[in-house]
Structure 1
Amino acid sequence: MARPNYKASVLLVEDEEHLHETLRLNLELEGYEVTSAYDGSQAMKSIQQEYFDVIVLDIMLPEMDGISVTESVRLQNNDVPILILSAKNTPADKITGLKKGADDYLTKPFNLEELLLRVDKLISKNKRIQDRETVGDTYTFGSNKVDFKAQEATIKDGSVISLSKKEAMLLKLLVENKNEVVTREKILQTVWGYNVYPTTRTIDNFILNFRKYFEEDTRNPRYFHSVRGVGYKYTE
């Protein structure tokens, strides 16, 4: 189910202007928020600055082709769904695109309705993966107990502390993805909201606070870990 008033965001990367405008118009008519890029480097800049629910990406692009863009995105551990559009229609081309990290591959000329259907499916699938089974209002680990609703926690020494809204949100996100690395992009998208990017240091400070509250030994954390260059992880 889509969130009320939430418009899924699409990055459209296509250098052929007429096709770009046609696709943009149709995606907007479907209710998507569309950001345009006309070459590979422009696309990479947008991806580094914003969160997208899906990328519709042409292969033959100036500056940096679609395959290179896909590779770069995946190297950054960004798991945004990518739909490749290509005039190349041999099985080998398709396999290359999928091997490099694309989620879907559509050859030109394509049916517009099919493209819109595939975009919708990729967004829905991604949404389901992100909406993991949620934890309840309270969660206990070690000698700590967190009440997400009240935004407070009983910590290791028995005292009760207040949590800021963002602390509670980040804590819940990490717990819901227990034992898995949560990427910086996903944290920014979920906790700070779309397209609002604080620095990595901001998230690091939150993790340091969690260690101070909940860890017996802050230098050798058991629960809260930073994974350099990738993201953060809660383990139990």
Structure 2
Amino acid sequence: MTTTSPQGRTELLRSDRTPVRVLVVDDEAPLAELLSMALRYEGWEVRSAGDGAGAVRTARDFRPDAVILDVMLPDMDGLAVLGRLRRELSDVPVLFLTARDSVEDRIAGLTAGGDDYVTKPFSLEEVVARLRGLIRRSGTASVRSESTLVVGDLILDEDSHEVSRGDDSIHLTATEFELLRFLMRNPRRVLSKAQILDRVWNYDFGGQANVVELYISYLRKKIDAGRTPMIHTRRGAGYLIKPGD
């Protein structure tokens, strides 16, 4: 099974601009982990459960936007789990997984309230594509355009040059915007002063480190002031941006 790359494709976000949440329920731990990795690669938040009781408990706490649910579980079948999930989350889309390919099984799952059905063995690409379709049709998430960068609650629109953090709009100069864009295109990655100078100011490192430090300080005053810091210094290495803890 292979994963697809999210490059060059729109992304889904919840209405509060946080990552989509998916619950994976399967008692085959390697398969559950493989699915979870593929979904995290999409930028989604994922939790898993290995049985029906655990799925209901996790769903109650996690409040997922979609559920991948194996039909055959050790403590109860997926149809019974679906019934309990629907009492907690009446509208959550559910994608069934099954090793059985009979028409009767498909009809039973869909009649019980499942939204789609994938038969094992399957490709990860198919599961992700079907899940994206379910989430979009459910209206629980919105499409984020390819021009939008998001790190935590910080949003930068590369087309309109609008920047916001939470509910607050942030005004940046052209150079501040380019610096922030470079940082946000490389979240959690330490960028050296030389790399920043080359990308933002288009010239080689040559005793100009002070200009990087100066503009980092400008950004911190606008992005981090009064909030959990997102822009961090790694002594002797450079700077990085990551979601506030």
Using the size of structure 2 for normalisation, the TM-score is 0.50
In structure 1, the partner of 2:110 is 98
After superposition, where does 1:119-198 map in structure 2 within 5 Å? 119-127=131-139
Change in 2 beyond 3 A, CA 1:87/1:45: same
Counterpart of 1:71 in structure 2 is 83
Please identify runs of 4+ aligned residues in structure 1 that moved more than 4 A. Answer: none
Question: Aligned in 2, Cα 1:21/1:77: closer, same or farther, shift over 3 Å?
Answer: closer
Equivalent-residue separation in structure 2 for 1:127 and 1:116 (angstroms): 17
Which 5+ residue runs of structure 1 have no aligned equivalent?
131-236
Q: Which amino acid aligns with 1:127?
A: G
CA drift at 1:72: 1.9
1:77 Cα offset (Å): 6.0
CA distance 1:116–1:6, shift in 2 (3 Å): same
- What CA distance in whole angstroms lies between the structure 1 residues aligned with 2:63 and 2:54? 15
> Any idea what the Cα deviations from partners look like across 1:162-191, whole Å, max 9, x if unmatched?
xxxxxxxxxxxxxxxxxxxxxxxxxxxxxx
For 1:11, the equivalent position in structure 2 comes to 23
Tell me the matched-pair count: 130
Q: Which amino acid aligns with 2:53?
A: S
In structure 1, C-alpha distance between the alignment counterparts of 2:61 and 2:41, rounded to whole Å: 25
Secondary structure at 2:95's aligned position in 1?
strand
Gap runs ≥5 in structure 2: 1-11, 143-245
Is the aligned partner of 1:117 residue 2:126? no
Question: Which residue of 100, 107, 119 corresponds with 2:119?
Answer: 107
Query: TM-score w.r.t. structure 1 length?
Result: 0.52
Give the drift of 1:75. 4.0
Corresponding residue of 2:53:
41
Bigger radius of gyration among the two: 2
Question: In structure 2, how many angstroms separate the alpha carbons of the residues matched to 1:6 and 1:77?
Answer: 19
Distance 1:113 1:61 in 2: 24
Please give the root-mean-square deviation of Cα atoms over the aligned residues, in Å.
2.0
Tell me how far 1:18 sits from its aligned partner: 1.2
d(CA) in 2 for partners of 1:7, 1:98? 27
Q: Distance in 2 between matches of 1:79 and 1:57?
A: 15
Aligned position for 1:199: none
For residues 108 and 42 of structure 1, what CA distance do their matches in structure 2 show? 22
The SS at the match of 1:68 is: helix
The equivalent position to 2:93 in structure 1, one of 71, 81, 92, is: 81
Percent identity between the aligned chains?
41
> What is the aligned partner in structure 2 of residue 202 from structure 1?
none
Structure with more contact order per residue of length (Cα contacts < 8 Å, sep ≥ 6):
2
